[in-house]
Structure 1
């Protein structure tokens, strides 16, 4: 995977990222979103997330093949040191190592902010895997050091089937008695130097 470049996402990437995401909306229960958002709405999501958190893409031969980002876990000050992470890889590029590259880079970005705990919300089968979902995402996160934190049975309904939702977590920093405030990623040294916007 030496031909892959990781850089900051830009609002102008919205259509290319949406091309990746739309496959999962239409064909899987990996996302519980029913309708593919518009490019305008997706650009707004990128804009909102990057006000505070990292949003990164993996490029190969000038084509985006995956993306990952972090965002607010819960909108309360006490949760500032936790963040939810999300990753999507072009369905034709899964299991090629691009996901690992993206998550390793995302963790570096989150450490620079002072975030301690990362959480991933993942849809899983309620029983056996089917044509819409399997446990590959859970396996990937566990391979990356995430541990199961909780299961919500039959909490997502898509394609006329009920699916479970699990939360996995990973601690990447130290919990202190006096915890320094986190810094918006764009205000960190790493954020200022990280890649270039398109």
Structure 2
């Protein structure tokens, strides 16, 4: 997509981000959330994420096309060198390169922080149905992620049980005396 820019998300993007996310909640198992969060909740989530991790939007001519962000993996200090990723693209724009560009920007920002491994938690059907297919797993595999685990029948939505898989990707070598990661605001030069 030409003229598309990747930039940091702001609270002012919350309504557009919510409108992208809402169809995923309401008619898919790509997210296991049941209720679409409010604009205020999205603003809170953006601010909370940006305290330590990057949160990006793809924008073209003032329109938000998708968003991607990172967060802690598990949340204990020993896991600081790993991050969990999430990405959502306007469903009318899937397979047009928006997600790939968002992830490239996100992975580069995480490398600069010192993150070594990234993981994605992905809803996974036994067989594709009207709520979930294999597209997310295929997207991640195309970007070099590999399956690292499966939880069978762990998510219940639309009166059906779904699997959840984890896919992971290594970004940098693991060292014996690994330096601490730097929060994303510090990487950008903010204190």
Give TM-score, length-normalised by structure 2.
0.98
Equivalence for 1:73? 73
Distance of 1:55 and 1:69 partners within structure 2: 4
1:163 is displaced (CA, Å) by 0.3
Which has the higher relative contact order, 1 or 2, with Cα contacts under 8 A spaced 6 or more apart? 1
1:192 is displaced (CA, Å) by 4.0
1:3 is displaced (CA, Å) by 1.2
Equivalent residues in 2 for 1:43-122, closer than 5 Å:
43-122=43-122
Q: CA RMSD in A?
A: 0.9
CA shift digits 1:120-164 (9 cap, x unpaired)? 000010x21000000000000000000000000000000000000
1:2 is displaced (CA, Å) by 2.1
Q: Runs of at least 4 residues of structure 1 off by over 4 A?
A: none
Equivalence for 2:2? 2
- Which structure 1 residue ranges, 5 or more long, are not aligned? 194-198
Asked whether 1:167 is paired with 2:161, we answer no
Asked whether 1:142 is paired with 2:147, we answer no
- Which structure 2 residue ranges, 5 or more long, are not aligned? none
Equivalence for 2:14? 14
Distance of 1:15 and 1:192 partners within structure 2: 28
1:185 is displaced (CA, Å) by 0.6
Distance of 2:73 and 2:145 partners within structure 1: 16
Give TM-score, length-normalised by structure 1.
0.94
